[in-house]
Structure 1
């Protein structure tokens, strides 16, 4: 039995984003991964291969190695899966302008993932990155 796209996405979020199992990326991805809309993300508008996405996730996780996404809602429609999520992490590594602080940080967002032949092919996302920066700036 083939996994649904939403099941595949849940496994991807848990293994790759939450646990940092970057070598697992190839098993989840289509040949090209398009970041269609992700304001504030340096990769916004880019199309990546597995190595490029692995590097993006490595860099994104570095300051927050204990990060955890919690999927609040998940909706599947054809080749798209929408999730509403929360994210929590401890600021353990430097970000330009924000040296590691040990602060607990949280944000929320929504992401629509697209799939091709059961593989993740990209996303469109809105996330509260400003809220993260405000939390980091608090003394």
Structure 2
């Protein structure tokens, strides 16, 4: 795949799986044995773990929406800088629902192999998120 096709793959995952909540489509974008290089606490491995994290975030922030701010692609890697917004409507990492609106920035580096994400490394402003939740 070309770098532009790799960028489109990541945008497709964000749109279909994260923003629209089509978790069953996650396998169209990520390998079954995808490796999360910096997993969430307690995240199980592989595609099941990715789906679990997305489901958990969508449960806590039902109106969650990710916006791609910029992307850089080189070879088999794509760096995506994003901002996500949402309203905290259910417990998230032990913080009960606050009904506060949040805006969280971050970046993810994905490595694509055979047309699917093989490994991923996400960095989010978790401290800023927790501050916005009053934790």
TM-score, scaled relative to structure 2 = 0.88
Q: Which of 63, 76, 80 does residue 77 from structure 2 map onto?
A: 80
* 2:58 is equivalent to residue 61 of structure 1: yes
Tell whether the 8 Å contact from 2:57 to 2:92 is kept in structure 1 after alignment: no
Q: How far apart are the structure 2 equivalents of 1:74 and 1:96?
A: 29
Helix, strand or coil at the partner of 1:4: helix
Q: How far apart are the structure 2 equivalents of 1:129 and 1:73?
A: 20
* Higher-helix-fraction structure: 2
Tell whether the 8 Å contact from 1:36 to 1:123 is kept in structure 2 after alignment: yes
Q: Which of 102, 106, 118 does residue 105 from structure 1 map onto?
A: 102
Q: Which residue does the alignment assign to 2:23?
A: 22
Q: Which residue does the alignment assign to 1:42?
A: 41
Q: Deviations over 1:42-87 (max 9, x none)?
A: 157x631x33322222122210111111111111111110011111
Tell whether the 8 Å contact from 1:35 to 1:43 is kept in structure 2 after alignment: no
Report the Cα offset of residue 120 of structure 1.
Answer: 1.1
Q: How far apart are the structure 2 equivalents of 1:96 and 1:74?
A: 29
The answer for unaligned runs of 5 or more in structure 1 is none
TM-score, scaled relative to structure 1 = 0.86
Helix, strand or coil at the partner of 2:57: helix
Helix, strand or coil at the partner of 1:112: strand
Task: Let me know the Cα RMSD of the aligned residues.
Answer: 2.1
Number of positions where the alignment pairs a residue of Structure 1 with one of Structure 2: 134
Helix, strand or coil at the partner of 1:53: helix
